[in-house]
Amino acid sequence: MKEISLVLLGFGSANRTLAQMLLDKSEKDNSCRQCLRVVAPGGTSTSELVPWKVVCIITRRHGRVCVPHSSKSEINVEEALERIGAGGILDATLVRNTNEATTSTAHSTTTDDTIKLLNELGKTQTANIVVEAIPSNPKSDGEPAISFIRTALQAGMHVASANKCPLTHTRNDKETYFELQGIAKRNGKIYLHESAVMDGVPIFSFWDNLPGVTCTKIRGLLNSTSTMILSRIEGNIDKVVESDGKVEHVGETFEEALEAAKKVGIVEEDESLDIDGWDAAMKLRALCVFLSSSGNLSLPEDHDVIVPPLEAIPRDSISQIDPELICTEFRASRKKVRSVASAELVDLPSDPAIGRHHPVKSWKMSVENEFLSQSDPLYNLNGSSASVQFSTDVMGPISVVSQDPTLMDTAYGLFADVVRIASQSINNT
Ligand SMILES: NC(=O)c1ccc[n+]([C@@H]2O[C@H](COP(=O)([O-])OP(=O)(O)OC[C@H]3O[C@@H](n4cnc5c(N)ncnc54)[C@H](OP(=O)(O)O)[C@@H]3O)[C@@H](O)[C@H]2O)c1
């Protein structure tokens, strides 16, 4: 890849922060006005400066702008950020270095418009990486994100995506994730999704460095909003007071804590995704699906691995927890409540009655409100912090903690994917 030509699919919190990060981390030298430093594959210390540009930005209701196909022009990213920040609309005036008409500008974009655009951008080699960051749609079919990723890969572009749906949904009982990775492989393209779980923490690429290891258990706090709400309800729990024999709650109410989380910008458009455990269940399933994909779980080949569907994962809602119970439990036993996502790889024996003729492994998953003791590695997590612990067949549990992540963490996950794609295709066009 001699030049990175990006399509920003969605220009909301995640992709706008990414755009600013690309500008901030750009380097230049005599031959390169705006470049990213890319390390050659294989862990050598050789690095190269690769020029980058944005050739298309697509939103749903805030306009879209793409350079003419196969042209050398690019979009003025600084101005696009300013325009959207000021409540404006993306349009053809954002294209630099061209007298030609842009391919397409319009205020609203339908799914069909986007599919057509992605096809053209890929097939004309106008773009080579699509950064997909549109809202997740877990309660439905995960569309249109899944179709956008499929189209981009089929049209010959790499994909970096922040979306959990492609990792959690199934189509005709087949994992969508395996289908998309299959398309990527057949087309010689790369599909990465690091920021879908724990933002910028390399929770997926982590496994590249653990060859032959089987993950047997996952346990963590995967949803920042619920941890923030619960820790704000606790308030300064050490100062809990008792009056007339009754324990008084000293933290925020559920509604106050939810409002505070919204102000930080971490609550999903549909807040029930956070509150009712959907988001944590999706992230858990995404990890299980990934770990069950070929090469990530070193099991003998006749062991199929079952990952039950999203709807089958038992989920507690944090709105069910009584704030007074939080105080009384803490006073009695110093325990704190958190929404804990857990998965364990269990054996299912053969059962010819249901057509299972050999033993299989299955992930047993749940998202539960748990009262944690002080010795629990998740005990001290507050605010938007997230953590996950992996148990494996060969090593003691490995814990990863992300302390108070912000949108910069999410954007870094996408940034790292773009650099990784460029690095792995450095010798290709
Ligand atoms: N924000 C986070 O902290 C975070 C962390 C990790 C992962 N993620 C994931 O990243 C993704 C994006 O999150 P975000 O916070 O950036 O969302 P956001 O602020 O709501 O932005 C979404 C963007 O996607 C556009 N869009 C929506 N539907 C579209 C469609 N059908 N076609 C084209 N564009 C469309 C929106 O356009 P309009 O504004 O015009 O509607 C907007 O520009 C989600 O999947 C989320 O789960 C987010």
Measured from the Cα of 62, ligand 1's closest atom is 40
3-state secondary structure of 90: strand
Measured from the Cα of 144, ligand 1's closest atom is 31
> What is the H or E stretch that residue 403 is in?
none
Give the pair of three-digit tokens for residue 98: 């061209």
* CATH code assigned at 44: 3.40.50.720
Regarding the beta carbon of 133 and ligand 1, being less than 6 Å apart is answered yes
Task: Give CA 386 to chain center in angstroms.
Answer: 13
- CB-side exposure of 70: number of CA atoms within 13 Å? 2
- Same domain? 41 vs 135: yes
Query: Exposed, middle or buried: residue 388 (CB in 10 Å: 0-12, 13-18, 19+)?
Result: buried
> What is the H or E stretch that residue 310 is in?
none
The answer to whether residue 429 is domain-embedded is no
- Same domain? 150 vs 261: no
Regarding the beta carbon of 134 and ligand 1, being less than 6 Å apart is answered yes
d(CA 129, CA 22): 14
- Same domain? 240 vs 149: no
Using alpha carbons, select from 133, 134, 74 the residue that is nearest to residue 102: 74
Say which residue the tokens 């008409």 belong to: 101
- Same domain? 126 vs 268: no
The answer to whether residue 333 is domain-embedded is yes
The answer to whether residue 264 is domain-embedded is yes
- Same domain? 393 vs 415: no
> How far away, in angstroms, is 196 Cα from ligand 1 center?
12
Amino acid symbol at 95: V
Regarding the beta carbon of 284 and ligand 1, being less than 6 Å apart is answered no
- Same domain? 195 vs 225: no
> How far away, in angstroms, is 336 Cα from ligand 1 center?
33
- Same domain? 388 vs 302: yes
Give the pair of three-digit tokens for residue 268: 């999903």
Regarding the beta carbon of 195 and ligand 1, being less than 6 Å apart is answered yes
- Same domain? 97 vs 141: yes
Query: Can you give the pLDDT of all 429 residues of the chain as single tens digits?
Result: 889 999 999 999 999 999 999 999 999 888 788 999 998 766 566 888 999 999 999 999 999 999 988 788 999 999 999 999 999 999 989 998 666 555 556 678 899 999 999 999 999 999 999 999 998 877 788 899 999 999 999 999 999 999 999 999 998 888 999 999 999 999 999 999 999 999 999 999 999 888 889 899 999 999 999 999 999 988 766 666 666 766 666 788 899 999 999 988 788 888 999 999 999 999 999 999 999 876 555 555 555 788 999 999 999 999 988 888 887 887 788 899 999 999 999 998 888 887 777 778 899 999 999 999 999 999 999 889 999 999 999 998 999 999 999 899 999 999 999 999 999 887 665
* CATH code assigned at 377: 3.30.360.10
> How far away, in angstroms, is 135 Cα from ligand 1 center?
4
CB of 184 closer than 8 Å to CB of 270:
no
The answer to whether residue 214 is domain-embedded is yes
Regarding the beta carbon of 144 and ligand 1, being less than 6 Å apart is answered yes
> How far away, in angstroms, is 14 Cα from ligand 1 center?
7
Into how many domains does the chain fold? 2
CA dihedral of 178, 183, 185, 190, whole degrees rounded to 10: -90
Residues facing residue 306 across a β-bridge: 362
**Closest residue (by CA) to atom 9 of ligand 1?**
162
Strand segments, DSSP code E, in 40-192 are: 47-58, 64-66, 74-75, 95-96, 129-132, 158-161, 170-171, 174-175, 191-192
> How far away, in angstroms, is 9 Cα from ligand 1 center?
9
- Same domain? 88 vs 27: yes
- Same domain? 364 vs 419: no
> How far away, in angstroms, is 134 Cα from ligand 1 center?
3
CB of 121 closer than 8 Å to CB of 136:
no
- Same domain? 190 vs 311: no
Q: Which residue range(s) make up the domain with 343?
A: 207-404
Measured from the Cα of 108, ligand 1's closest atom is 40
Which residues, in sequence order, are CB contacts of 79 under 8 Å at separation 6+?
Answer: 94
> How far away, in angstroms, is 335 Cα from ligand 1 center?
36
- Same domain? 98 vs 25: yes
